[in-house]
Amino acid sequence: SEEKAPLCLEAKVVWLADKMIQSGYFPGMGLEFLKIDAEAQKKIIQFVEKHLAGSL
């Protein structure tokens, strides 16, 4: 389906949390998307709201 179609985007890592180093943080990374169009941005927001918003 279109919802599951991969997005090909350029991004850079802006923060990194390593559970071994920062035990009070969830492991993960923050990305800054570069040159993102409105449709791709909408898809990312929908994904976050559907899958991650309740766990934050």
The confidence score (pLDDT) of residue 51 equals: 84
Strands of 1-56 (E only): list them: 10-17, 28-34
The confidence score (pLDDT) of residue 28 equals: 84
Percentage of the chain lying above the pLDDT 90 cut: 39
Q: Which residue has the higher pLDDT, 18 or 3?
A: 18
Instruction: Taking residues 35-48, report their average pLDDT.
Output: 92
User: Is 30 strand, coil or helix?
Assistant: strand
